[in-house]
């Protein structure tokens, strides 16, 4: 009996380490769960805590609507949508309907009923842009995005190779475009999705040895990669307007160095300003030069602060008939990479205020029908997207929501190269748990669900396409005795009516993007 007891005790002490070792090997060899791959055995604790997270927060820490920049409810919706799990909610809303800024979308008593042969009966997520980018300025290659929801500018370097690959493959499957971010075109953007090349102040990918812009390199890039559908000239971004991008030296690999044409072992700091222009006329001439040389539509991306130069740009466009084909307004609440605290928190206007102020300027000069307006800044949810469309956006770009769909857990260590989910790091080990085949499917599921729910709300409001939404269709809580008022009253304008015939007519456009997604 004594021997049996000793053996039994010994066997348990022997079996436990062996079991843990087997579990660790299993975690390392699998690639379905990035956290478990990167942190064998210990990684299981995160999923265990996530399971009981709502209960812990409900009784001990915080509720589902308190966390920032994205609260638990928002993140849970993205995660569930990306995994094709139940993203519904039961027992009513847990929102504070009297909170300042809360929005109400006004549905119609009798919504829009689709005909039996309507394209959305076959594909309930097909919603192309109502406008064609570059059509007004008669560019050689106009572009109508297949999806009203697309991937915002996130650079390879800021995001990992496998994250970029996952997003591009998911974008190809659904048909949305993929913005490169100012880090330029990388091999991981070349899986076939439509691409918008972002050109920042450092001219990464299209610069000479001295860091100056090279038109020859841009022409070569666009001619060799026909999936590039537009160019976006970045003036500033929501997280750090007026400062330029920053890529810490720790995240710069030999490949990134070669793609961007930058040295190793040194922080890549983009200049605060462009060297190719310093005035509005010079900027417009630069835009026209790129458009003429490449045949592509060219737009600008900017956060919003002072409005004098926006006014000057609108005046110059009226005077010359030239200018950007699209304008991307990035809200001050945006930001996927590294940014100084003060810039991230206090410089530039939030999306609601920034976009509406710029839109009103271009509306005053009767230019809103000639430009495609793109919004970004936490708009990757159905209700926020609908608000943006009502304000005058033709498209929305999503960044952090796209990151969450492929595994981002909002660890907020993007600037350290230690992203635990492998999404925002150049570490081969940390990104080793990302399976692009799986993660691309998850981004596809997310963007498909978002488009589908945008259309469902559109139909509930009595419209066929979200471009038909008006400023009168959305109310906002003002906080004074629970007072609510329309967006038109809140921001002081009604958006310009967007010409629209039918979704079927949009899908038949010769300039429609989406590539193989519609094959």
Mean pLDDT of 105-110: 95
Look up tokens 């975690």; give the residue.
27
Residue 87's pLDDT is 80
pLDDT at residue 227 is higher than 90: yes
Mean pLDDT of 21-35: 84
Residue 444's pLDDT is 97
H-type alpha helices, 321-465: 341-346, 351-364, 382-391, 400-405, 436-460
User: pTM here?
Assistant: 0.87
If pLDDT is split at 50, 70 and 90, which confidence band does 120 have? Answer: very high
Residue 517's pLDDT is 39
Crossing angle (nearest 10°) for helices 280-294 and 215-224? 40
Greater confidence, 100 or 302? 302
- Name residue 326's beta-bridge partners: 299, 372
Mean pLDDT of 216-236: 96
Residue 445's pLDDT is 97
Listing from the earlier edge strand, what are the strands of the sheet with 103-105? 103-105, 474-477, 484-486
pLDDT at residue 481 is higher than 80: no
pLDDT at residue 339 is higher than 60: no
Span of 85-94, 268-277, 385-394 with lowest mean pLDDT: 85-94
CATH superfamily label, 123-461: Aldolase class I (3.20.20.70)
| C-alpha Rg value of the chain to the nearest Å | 24
Give the start-to-end residue ranges of the domains of the chain.
1-61, 123-461
Other CB atoms closer than 10 Å to residue 138's CB: what's the count?
8
Residue 357's pLDDT is 97
Greater confidence, 66 or 406? 406
The model's pLDDT over 185-217, given as tens digits with 9 standing for 90+, comes to: 999 999 999 999 999 999 999 999 888 999 999
Q: Check if the beta carbon of residue 234 is closer than 8 Å to that of residue 267.
A: no
The model's pLDDT over 51-106, given as tens digits with 9 standing for 90+, comes to: 766 556 544 666 666 677 777 788 888 888 999 888 877 777 777 777 888 889 99
User: In whole angstroms, what is the distance from residue 103 CA to residue 491 CA?
Assistant: 14
If pLDDT is split at 50, 70 and 90, which confidence band does 417 have? Answer: confident
Residue 294's pLDDT is 98
pLDDT at residue 490 is higher than 90: yes
Most confident stretch, 55-69, 201-215, 316-330, 337-351: 316-330
The model's pLDDT over 153-195, given as tens digits with 9 standing for 90+, comes to: 999 888 999 999 999 999 999 999 999 999 899 999 999 999 9
Residue 331's pLDDT is 87
> Percentage of the chain with pLDDT > 90?
59
Most confident stretch, 43-57, 120-134, 243-257, 399-413: 120-134
Residue 386's pLDDT is 97
User: In whole angstroms, what is the distance from residue 73 CA to residue 71 CA?
Assistant: 6
């Amino acid at each position: 009996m004594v021997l049996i007891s000793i053996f039994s005790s010994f066997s348990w002490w022997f079996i436990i380490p062996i079991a843990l070792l087997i579990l660790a090997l299993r975690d390392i060899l699998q690639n379905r769960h990035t956290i478990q791959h990167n942190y064998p055995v210990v990684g299981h604790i995160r999923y265990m805590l996530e399971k009981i997270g709502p209960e812990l927060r409900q009784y001990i820490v915080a509720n589902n609507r308190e966390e920032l920049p994205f609260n638990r409810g928002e993140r849970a919706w993205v995660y569930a949508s990306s995994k094709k799990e139940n993203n519904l909610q039961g027992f009513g809303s847990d929102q504070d309907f009297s909170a300042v800024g809360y929005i109400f979308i006004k549905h119609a008593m009798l919504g829009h009923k689709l005909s039996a042969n309507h394209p959305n009966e076959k594909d309930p997520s097909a919603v192309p842009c109502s406008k064609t980018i570059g059509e007004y300025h008669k560019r050689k290659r106009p572009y109508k995005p297949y999806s009203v929801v697309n991937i915002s500018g996130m650079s390879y370097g800021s995001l990992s190779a496998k994250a970029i690959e996952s997003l591009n493959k998911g974008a190809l499957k659904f048909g949305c475009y993929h913005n490169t971010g100012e880090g330029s075109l990388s091999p991981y953007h070349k899986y076939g999705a439509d691409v918008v090349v972002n050109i920042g102040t450092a001219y990464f990918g299209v610069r000479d040895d001295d860091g100056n812009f090279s038109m020859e390199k841009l022409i070569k890039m666009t001619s060799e990669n026909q999936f590039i559908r537009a160019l976006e000239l970045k003036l500033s971004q929501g997280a750090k307007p007026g400062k330029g991008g920053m890529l810490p030296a720790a995240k710069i690999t030999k490949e990134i160095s070669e793609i961007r044409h930058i040295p190793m072992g040194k922080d890549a700091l983009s200049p605060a300003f462009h060297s190719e222009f310093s005035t509005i006329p010079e900027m417009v001439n630069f835009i026209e030069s790129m458009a003429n040389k490449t045949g592509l539509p060219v737009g600008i991306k900017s956060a919003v602060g002072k409005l004098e130069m926006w006014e000057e740009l609108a005046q110059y466009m009226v005077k010359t008939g030239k200018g950007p084909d699209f304008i991307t307004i990035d809200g001050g609440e945006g930001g996927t990479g590294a940014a100084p605290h003060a810039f991230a928190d206090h410089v530039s206007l939030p999306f609601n205020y920034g976009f509406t102020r710029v839109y009103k300027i271009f509306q005053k000069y009767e230019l809103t029908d000639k430009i495609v307006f793109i919004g970004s800044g936490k708009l990757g949810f159905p209700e926020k997207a609908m608000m943006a469309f009502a304000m005058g956006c033709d498209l929305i770009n999503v960044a952090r929501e796209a990151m969450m769909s492929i595994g981002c857990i909002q660890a907020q260590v993007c600037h350290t190269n230690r992203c635990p989910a492998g999404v925002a790091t150049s570490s081969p080990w940390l990104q080793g748990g990302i399976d692009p085949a799986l993660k691309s499917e998850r981004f596809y599921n997310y963007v498909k669900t978002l488009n589908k729910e945008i259309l469902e709300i559109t139909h509930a409001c009595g419209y066929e396409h979200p471009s038909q939404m008006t400023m009168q269709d959305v109310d906002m809580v003002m906080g004074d005795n629970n007072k609510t008022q329309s967006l038109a009253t809140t921001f002081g304008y009604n958006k310009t009516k967007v010409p629209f015939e039918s979704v079927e007519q949009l899908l038949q456009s010769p300039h429609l993007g989406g590539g193989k997604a519609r094959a």
